[in-house]
Amino acid sequence: MSLQQDLESRSGNQCELCTGTDNLSIYEVKPTSTVGGSGVDGSLLACETCTTQIENADEMDANHWRCLNDSMWSEYRAVKVVAWRMLSRLRNEGWPKDLLDMMYLEDDDLRFAKESGDHLDDSEKIIHRDANGAILEAGDSVVLIKDLKVKGSSLVAKQGTAVRRISLDHENAKFIEGKVGPTQIVIITDYVKKMADKE
């Protein structure tokens, strides 16, 4: 079965967040590197309304997300993580804070949920920028702009090397992580440039 078919079967052909049935598509939960790639564990079936509001904070309709009262109890990791992120984004409304207080996530799932930074106030968010000042987000692809010696190994990551699906260090705006070949490395943002294509 394809991923779409797996998710349709799992969800009963409805949005796993709001149970809507219009314009359903696969929503891949970023950063995919955290869940060991994409696939059923890192994706959910979502309607166009949910997807649009997840990706565009300006279009948030708080009342639409009252559906999370049910979907936050999903047994599926991707659904729980997105529910937690959306409740965190809406927490100043009042009722989402109550739901967050009731919600339980395993430590790994909570770490994954926090990758988006939705739980932080704007003043607390650490902004990662590449050498040109472009904002980097989890899941972006970057290219190295100089040769970098990898600490603790003889590996040199060459200028021009693409690093896909980066993750961000939430305590230091200068550090990102990504894979060069099979090796996961920490990279200083001053030495990367964001690639236009987002995977």
**45, exposed or middle or buried, with CB in 10 Å at 0-12, 13-18, 19+?**
buried
* Beta-strand relationship, 25-28 and 43-46: antiparallel
Q: Is the pTM value of this prediction over 0.85?
A: no
Element (H, E) at 198: none
Q: CATH 2.30.30.40 region(s) of the chain?
A: 128-194
* Residues 70-118 pLDDT 10s: 999 999 999 999 999 999 989 888 899 999 999 999 998 998 888 876 7
Q: What angle do CA 41, 122, 85 make, to 5 degrees?
A: 20
* Distance in angstroms (rounded) separating the CA atoms of residues 95 and 30: 26
Q: Which CATH number fits domain 128-194: 1.10.3720.10, 3.40.50.10320, 2.30.30.40, 3.30.300.30?
A: 2.30.30.40
Under 8 Å between Cβ of 11 and 45: yes
pLDDT more than 70, % of the chain: 91
List the one residue out of 45, 53, 52 whose CA is nearest residue 78. 45
* Residues 164-176 pLDDT 10s: 888 888 778 888 9
* Distance in angstroms (rounded) separating the CA atoms of residues 159 and 144: 5
* Distance in angstroms (rounded) separating the CA atoms of residues 135 and 137: 7
β-pair partners for 81 = none
